[in-house]
Copies of this chain bind each other. A is one copy, B any other.
Amino acid sequence: MSGVLPLLVASVLTASAATQAAAPAASQAARRPVTVADVLAASGPADWRPLDAQHTLYVELPAGRVIIELNSEFAPHHVANIEALTREGYYDGLAIVRSQDNYVVQWADPDGKRPIRNAQHTLAAEFERSSRGVPFTPLTDPDTYAPEAGFAEGFPAARDTKIGRAWLVHCYGMVGAGRDTDVDSGGGTELYVVTGQAPRHLDRNVTLVGRVIQGMELLSVLPRGTGALGFYEKPEQRTPIKSIRIAADVPAAQRTELELLRTDTPTFTAYVEARRNRREEWFKVPAGHVDVCNVPLVARPKAK
């Protein structure tokens, strides 16, 4: 296409692009990997981790499956409750009731009548935790919001070692438990997903429970609600949640087998550096820094 200026190498690397990346030829393999594609192509099995089917949600929408990796290290009680809500079928037949541009989508019981049998309605907040014993891969880059930003076992996170606290951060695709004004009014009955510029001012104000690892494009394109805060004004504008299932409860043949790039390896360090200073020919001025929310955490089909 003549005249098309596709910002080619500026693309966010997708899982499919990663798997399609040709293996480097012998002479190339000897070079130090410099681009994101190079780093991923040179990665080995130990650079990837399996997805834990016990803590993975399949959100089935009319348009397809959204996959969420839950984080039971940072939000153990919320995650256990969300799993209990899932297993009792609480979410099945609920709806996405809100889509606010450059912010979040959120699902809930629009009528507020859905009974809860065994799970909890609300839980004590899990906004942050002790940073002791939390494996943490810090970024060297300055962060606007936190003393230190980085990655905790595959999730974007931050910590303040002075006060000994760590927390997950609100990047694109992160999933949180909506709450009312009371800090302990959440619990997982309503979940939101970040669909816009990282709303980092929500960090430590609401419990993050996981992240979307596949299917974000099914959520991010939902029409924006025209009511206050992006709520849909008419019931028919909502998107139904057909069901939510825990991956481990789904027959093997119906599972989506993925693996995730580890965030605590030399390969990941090289990957971050390749994002920080883009070496593709298109780039003229390497940024020199990278934001924690500008490091896509790669998921790809599991190697057979």
Contacts and interface: CB of A to CB of B under 8 A. Distances in A.
Given A145-B291, A196-B172, A197-B293, A7 B102 contact: no
Interface in A217-253: 217, 220-224, 228-231
B7 A106 contact: yes
Contacts of A202: 7, 10
B145 A11 contact: no
B216 A294 contact: no
26 contacts: A1-B108, A3-B109, A3-B112, A4-B108, A5-B180, A5-B190, A6-B231, A7-B192, A7-B202, A7-B229, A12-B101, A12-B196, A101-B216, A142-B144, A143-B144, A171-B197, A196-B197, A198-B294, A199-B294, A200-B287, A201-B294, A203-B285, A203-B287, A204-B284, A205-B284, A221-B224
Nearest to A97: B4
A104 interface: yes
Contacts of A297: none
A228 B1 CA distance: 14
A294 B205 contact: no
Contacts of A281: 181
Contacts of A2: 112
Contacts of A172: 102, 196-197
A81 B108 CA distance: 48
A101 B217 contact: yes
Given A4-B112, A7-B192, A127-B284, 16 more contacts: A1-B110, A3-B112, A4-B178, A5-B178, A6-B178, A7-B179, A10-B103, A101-B216, A101-B220, A142-B142, A142-B143, A144-B290, A197-B198, A200-B287, A221-B222, A221-B224
Nearest to A216: B101
Given A3-B112, A7-B229, A197-B293, A102 B216 contact: yes
A88 to B, nearest CB: 16
A12 B103 contact: yes
A275 interface: yes
